[in-house]
Amino acid sequence: MFNWFKKKDKNKTSPSQNGPDFSNVNSNEKAIGLYNKGELVKVHLMPLEFGGEDSPRNTLYAPEFAQQFKQRFDAMIENLLHEGKNLSYNVQPSYKGKSFIPSVLTIKVTGDADFTETINVW
């Protein structure tokens, strides 16, 4: 009637009513596998434009929309740097359970300007 008795698939990685669920991506190998399939993209914690490295330590995997939101925010910060602002930049990923895919990215910029951006991934 209202799907009250319908069994829910807890291993789902595609978007549902509440968005994607990456709880079953519990290893870096699984995250890289989804990246290789084109289901996830690389996200650099410290942007390459700000001197970050393309290395495992600076890389996580997330849906493309999260990368796009982060890149837009990073572009705004880059413009402030070109204007001569003195800024510190920090990204803190948060995780649910044992997932290797961050559920939230919190970006904090401090210095001549203070900003906090929160990107909800899943």
Q: Is residue 14 part of a domain?
A: no
Query: Do residues 73 and 118 touch, judged by C-beta distance below 8 A?
Result: no
Q: Is residue 107 part of a domain?
A: yes
| pTM higher than 0.75 | yes
Interval 28-55: pLDDT, tens: 999 999 999 999 999 999 999 999 999 9
Q: Is residue 54 part of a domain?
A: yes
Range of the domain at 114: 28-120
Interval 52-107: pLDDT, tens: 999 999 999 999 999 999 999 999 999 999 999 999 999 999 999 999 999 999 99
H/E element holding 35? helix 28-36
CA distance 98 to 101: 9
For the sheet with 87-94, list strands across it: 87-94, 104-111, 115-120
Of the two residues 36 and 1, the one the predictor is more confident about is 36
Please tell me the predicted confidence (pLDDT) of residue 19.
Answer: 75
Please tell me the predicted confidence (pLDDT) of residue 58.
Answer: 97
Q: Is residue 22 part of a domain?
A: no
